[in-house]
Amino acid sequence: MSYSAEINSLESNNSGKDIWQAIASILELQNQAPALVPVARNEHLPLSFSQESLWFLYQLQQDSSTYNVSFAFRLQGLLNIGALKRSLNEIIQRHEALRTTFLAAQNKPVQVIAPSLKLTLPVVNLQELPEKERETQALQLVKKEVQQPFDLTQDPLLRSSLVQLGKNEYVLLLSVHHIAFDGWSEGILWRELTTLYTAFSTDKPSTLPQLPIQYADFAVWHRQWLQGQVMDTQLNYWKQKLADAPPLLELPTDRVRPPIQTNRGGIKRFGLDEHLTQKLKSLSEKSGATLFMTLLTGFVILLSRYSNQQDILVGSPIANRNRSELESLIGFFVNILVLRTDVSGNPSFWELLQRVRQVATEAYSHQDVPFEQIVETLQPERNLNYSPLFQVMFVLLNTPPGKLELPGLSLTPLEIETPTAKFDLTLLMTETEQGLSGSLEYNSDLFEEATITRMVGHFVTLLEGIVANPEERISQSPLLTKPEQQQLLVEWNDTAAKYPAHKCIHQLFEEQVERTPDAVAVVFENQQLTYQQLNTRANSLAHYLKSLAVGADVLVGLCVERSLEMIVGLLGILKAGGAYLPLDPDYPTERLAYMLNDSQVQVLLTQEKLLTTIPEHSACVVCLDKDWQDISKESKDNPVTSSTTDNLAYVIYTSGSTGQPKGTLVNHSNVVRLFAATDDWYHFNQDDVWTLFHSYAFDFSVWEIWGALLYGGRLIVVPYLVTRSPESFYKLLVQQQVTVLNQTPSAFRQLIQAEQSGITAGELNLRLVIFGGEALEIQSLQPWFERHGDTRPQLVNMYGITETTVHVTYRPLSKVDLNHTASVIGRPIPDLEVYVLDEYKQPVPIGVRGEMYVGGAGVTRGYLNRPELTAERFIANPFSNNPQARLYKTGDLGRYLPNGDLEYLGRIDNQVKIRGFRIELGEIEAILATHPDVWETVVVVREDEPGDTCTELSRSKRLVAYVVTKTAPSLSTSQLRRFLSEQLPSYMVPSAFVVLPSLPLTSNGKIDRKALPVPASREGLEVSFAAPRTPEEEILVKIWAEILKVDPVGIHDNFFELGGNSLLGTQVISRLRNAFSINLSLHRLFISPTVAELAQNIEVLRIATEDEDDLMPDTEEEYEEGCL
């Protein structure tokens, strides 16, 4: 958008006083500027600020066509090739910018202006080819021209060629480099080419007036004017405006952001009809804003809703031609304004539009500072994989650049798809007679075309909602298209299956006893019970408990070791009509005390040897061993109870965010329908052998116990010590010929490792391996697939939570999944729904992260004695017609994939922010797990200092990766860091790597993060310690040790391998400048990252007569890591 165009728009819509004040301040500043006059050409002239930025980018990617500006026209009619060639050469002669090359003189780029330049106009003749082949060849030539890089050191900056298709049919190709051209220049080029061709084709001279100044004159003038107070005043505004800005707009991408920013791209074109366009213009006029501001506000809302961020920075070009002398010049004048919008507080569209209007008018008032100067002044933390300050651009062309019209010829512009993208996204809106047209340019290494197509649909839907109700809160503005609403809310959640739930768990077990009374039901070590024996014992216990007033919804504590008594006790409680509360004797005493006190159980089942370890309580104690003689006197018949499927079956305590566990209330119906809903997938039967591997206080045990006992299978209660030994457990699987195995991914990785060790023997008989309890790193399954294939056993990933009864989703796994790193958890099981919602409970689009909410028959009652927490986490279902229907707020992040599968993105409270970057630890773990020598890994954020065992909030956060290797115990930190650096941005590369023989697990088989050791201060370093030898090295070692919190620091230690990053690097550089009174750049630390190397650099700098600018220009530091 040009400044002049914006002024025209402001004048036409009676905009507010604040905008006119902004315009007045712009004009006043321009009036204070010195005269713009030609300068001498007797020496090389500097580049403009904008040119300098592109020149440095060119140094990084000399084979890139990203900054090519290309045009193609189909010409039909009588073409005067000589006049066309003469016209193009006259334009080159008129505009020095087009005959300029760029060289480095004394480490500074300079303009080299050729006094004259002869442009050729080659003609490629395709007339002899068949029509179809002719068209194909022509398109290939267009594509080749578009992708042909410029050599800025010697090429003309304007290229032209003709492709002849017929006697009077041509394709004209023109390409110019952005360093000499901008959007405004396009209009000048067409006007001048039209005028000159019209004259030259009739042998008339040019009627164009001579240009008073050239681009190089502007570059010198601009540099001279923008210094001192003029520069300081404007820079101070930008320093204040962009202080503490988020470094990255974290849009959800289809692929991991590459470690080095790429420019491969695509374009999605779309249009807004005339009706919507007029509505948007009317809305702008009513609000005293411009169409640019209205569209930008809509775009900001879209970006905020996609990224879940409320501080949105968008770049927008401004013509930067505020003087009449510049209006007729071809050149790269455009400047970039960074427009930062605060979206917080859930404002209405009207309110947000006023914020955007203020942001834009303030930016116009301070538009003269080149973007490059702002970047240099602010020194944002740099990364090679994204541009600084903003990654998304917005452009409105409300003054079309004009048309090329050549007499005697019909011209048709050809649409050129340039496969490049300068930013993550660039939204270009153009006013046409038919309405607004748009194009969304995107980086195709980040986004799929289908994702961008959906995004465009969301933008249009959002604009339609805005004009319909601008007073609506932006969180409620519609985003999803109608087909997507149908897909997300209906088709993918069409899981309203109903299953018979009129029988309780124990009643279904009793039916199974009738079918297979003599089959073995449960085994523990060398003991076993048949179904009939188990039922008889449980019946006796049930009658005994009923005599103690146990009945419907009465909680009975069960504190026993792994044994047959555990299953008897659990089943007896259910048969009495009560609900069991598992109290694992291995739990800490404090946790057991809390659970007993919170639940206030009246009866507690235990074993005699545990009596002295159970915390103080007031329950009636029944010992299943000591008291069994009395219990066994009770009736052996199935008891009759008044409990129904709506009564409690169990209460399981899970960890709470407040530090205190919370008890989840689960009914019989919740459990019964779980097995009915999954029966078509698993077909559990009496031939199955299951293991009770997990603690009965972990809800995975519910699946293990009843999956066996409701289908006539055999349940193997795994001794505790066997669960801690993968080798012993593997042996048990072989001996018992287990068919259904349920594991957390962490425990299964250890089982795979045991199998690979060669210690294990015998053939497994598994038909199913079902994962749950934590996120699955799919790469860890590669050795298993290589050995066992992917059909038998079938591996299945099931996401689930206690509050929604064990399992929620189902996803069978295959070898194909190894090609991806995402933790895909599949689709909801048949009687559940999963909605992915934003913080305002609105459905998010496909591909966008949000919190998962679960609805359906598995949603439990809530929490024991926690009505407020229950109300907070179990909410009314806004997508159901049933007023009683509820959704459970999981606290887990996920997103729907285009195929309808869900991807698990971790806990909300496992998201971390380090140095302003939002980081998904699971993403780092998934990439690290793909290293061929890495067996398993976990990444955590630590705030403790190396070698310290305490934590303080004041200490800086850092990422630490814990790694278990496959067969390479010597795997080095540098190898791991290099591996990640090639695939992840630098801010996601851990500062420390710790190699462990195995990862610690909790009693539930999950990774025990609290048990991970604090990294030693020199953890993983490959160089031996070497003490400082010189005073310079002494100072450096001291500074590094203080900033990195590492002691000792050796002179050959790498700054980044010690945990350094560019932010800490700026602290080091600042300290060194003060310590040695030298001008040292951050770039010097990157190329000399050891104490010894940096000390040598410092010594050279101190004795050199030239300063750091001559040795290493500051601008090189600025653009070495990527910019615009």
Mean pLDDT lowest among 25-34, 245-254, 468-477, 898-907: 25-34
How much is the pLDDT for 231? 86
Q: Is 1052 helix (H, G, I), strand (E, B) or coil?
A: coil
pLDDT (mean) for 564-577 = 97
How much is the pLDDT for 969? 63
Is the peptide bond prior to 470 cis by the omega test (within 30 degrees of 0)?
no
Helix axes 531-546, 505-515, angle to 10 degrees: 140
How much is the pLDDT for 13? 47
**What sign does the CA torsion over 549, 551, 553, 554 have?**
positive
When the pLDDT of each residue in the chain is averaged and rounded to a whole number, the result is: 87
Q: Are 545 and 570 in contact (CB under 8 A)?
A: no
CA separation for the pair 540, 547 (Å, rounded): 11
More confident residue, 1120 or 16: 16
Write down the pTM of the prediction.
0.81
Q: Percent helix, strand, coil in the chain (nearest 5)? A: 40, 20, 40
Q: Which amino acid is at 189?
A: L
Q: Please write the tens of the pLDDT for every residue from 780-791.
A: 899 999 999 999
Q: Reply yes or no on whether the pLDDT at 97 is more than 70.
A: yes
Helix axes 1062-1076, 1091-1103, angle to 10 degrees: 40
Q: How many Cβ atoms are within 10 Å of 1074's Cβ, its own excluded? A: 10
Mean pLDDT lowest among 160-169, 574-583, 825-834, 972-981: 972-981
Using alpha carbons, select from 862, 861, 860, 842 the residue that is nearest to residue 851: 842
Question: What burial class does residue 798 get, using C-beta atoms within 10 Å of its C-beta: 0-12 exposed, 13-18 middle, 19+ buried?
Answer: buried
Question: What burial class does residue 621 get, using C-beta atoms within 10 Å of its C-beta: 0-12 exposed, 13-18 middle, 19+ buried?
Answer: middle
How much is the pLDDT for 1114? 35
- Report residue 318: phi and psi, to 5°: -135, 140
pLDDT (mean) for 813-824 = 90
Q: What is the band of 1019 on the pLDDT scale with cuts at 50, 70, 90?
A: low
pLDDT (mean) for 593-620 = 94
Given this chain, do its domains 3-32+248-403+416-479 and 45-218 carry the same CATH topology?
yes
How much is the pLDDT for 985? 65
Report the CATH number of the 497-710 domain. Answer: 3.40.50.12780
How much is the pLDDT for 943? 72
Q: What is the band of 1109 on the pLDDT scale with cuts at 50, 70, 90?
A: very low
User: Domain 45-218 has what CATH class?
Assistant: alpha beta
How much is the pLDDT for 357? 96
Strand partners, 439: 269, 428
CA separation for the pair 953, 956 (Å, rounded): 8
Mean pLDDT lowest among 129-133, 346-350, 505-509, 1118-1122: 1118-1122
Q: What is the band of 1106 on the pLDDT scale with cuts at 50, 70, 90?
A: very low
pLDDT (mean) for 697-713 = 96
Strand partners, 175: 70, 159
More confident residue, 1026 or 355: 355
Residues in CB range of 1040: below 8 A, 6 or more apart = 1046, 1049, 1053, 1055, 1058, 1060, 1068, 1091
What CATH topology corresponds to 1024-1124?
1.10.1200
How much is the pLDDT for 687? 97
Question: What burial class does residue 505 get, using C-beta atoms within 10 Å of its C-beta: 0-12 exposed, 13-18 middle, 19+ buried?
Answer: buried
Q: Is 177 helix (H, G, I), strand (E, B) or coil?
A: strand
How much is the pLDDT for 971? 80
Strand partners, 315: 338, 393
Q: What is the band of 737 on the pLDDT scale with cuts at 50, 70, 90?
A: very high
Residue spans per domain, the chain: 3-32+248-403+416-479, 45-218, 497-710, 915-1022, 1024-1124
DSSP 327: T
Helix axes 17-31, 349-365, angle to 10 degrees: 10
Q: Please write the tens of the pLDDT for every residue from 183-238.
A: 899 999 999 999 999 999 999 999 999 999 999 999 999 988 888 888 888 899 99
Residues in CB range of 436: below 8 A, 6 or more apart = 271, 272, 276, 277, 280, 295, 429, 430
Q: Are 664 and 801 in contact (CB under 8 A)?
A: no
How much is the pLDDT for 1122? 25
Q: What is the 3-state secondary structure (H, E, C) of 570-617?
A: HHHHHHCCCEEEECCCCCCHHHHHHHHHHHCCCEEEECHHHCCCCCCC
Q: Is 169 helix (H, G, I), strand (E, B) or coil?
A: strand
Using alpha carbons, select from 678, 665, 746 the residue that is nearest to residue 706: 678
Q: What is the band of 1123 on the pLDDT scale with cuts at 50, 70, 90?
A: very low
How much is the pLDDT for 400? 67
Q: Is 886 helix (H, G, I), strand (E, B) or coil?
A: strand
Using alpha carbons, select from 778, 758, 896, 914 the residue that is nearest to residue 826: 896
Q: Reply yes or no on whether the pLDDT at 768 is more than 50.
A: yes
Q: What is the band of 1107 on the pLDDT scale with cuts at 50, 70, 90?
A: very low
How much is the pLDDT for 816? 93
Which CATH architecture is the domain 915-1022 placed in? 2-Layer Sandwich (3.30)
Using alpha carbons, select from 378, 478, 396 the residue that is nearest to residue 432: 396
Q: How many Cβ atoms are within 10 Å of 866's Cβ, its own excluded? A: 18
CA separation for the pair 172, 123 (Å, rounded): 9
Question: What burial class does residue 603 get, using C-beta atoms within 10 Å of its C-beta: 0-12 exposed, 13-18 middle, 19+ buried?
Answer: buried
pLDDT (mean) for 673-695 = 95
- Report residue 727: phi and psi, to 5°: -65, -45
Q: Please write the tens of the pLDDT for every residue from 364-404.
A: 989 989 998 898 888 887 677 889 999 999 999 877 667 89
Q: Please write the tens of the pLDDT for every residue from 399-438.
A: 766 789 999 999 999 988 778 898 999 999 999 888 999 9
Q: Please write the tens of the pLDDT for every residue from 449-505.
A: 999 999 999 999 999 999 999 999 999 999 999 999 999 998 998 876 777 778 999
Task: State what percent of residues in the chain have pLDDT above 70.
Answer: 89
Q: Are 282 and 14 in contact (CB under 8 A)?
A: no
Task: Give the C-alpha distances (Å, rounded to integers) separating 1096 from 1030, 1100, 1106.
Answer: 10, 6, 16
How much is the pLDDT for 25? 58
Using alpha carbons, select from 79, 36, 703 the residue that is nearest to residue 333: 36
Q: Reply yes or no on whether the pLDDT at 665 is more than 90.
A: yes
If you search the block for the tokens 């079309």, which residue do you land on? 400
CATH superfamily of 3-32+248-403+416-479: Nonribosomal peptide synthetase, condensation domain (3.30.559.30)
Q: Reply yes or no on whether the pLDDT at 1 is more than 50.
A: no
Q: Are 283 and 467 in contact (CB under 8 A)?
A: yes
Using alpha carbons, select from 86, 103, 116, 127 the residue that is nearest to residue 47: 103
CA separation for the pair 432, 445 (Å, rounded): 31
Task: Give the C-alpha distances (Å, rounded to integers) separating 155 from 102, 180, 564.
Answer: 10, 12, 86
More confident residue, 644 or 44: 644
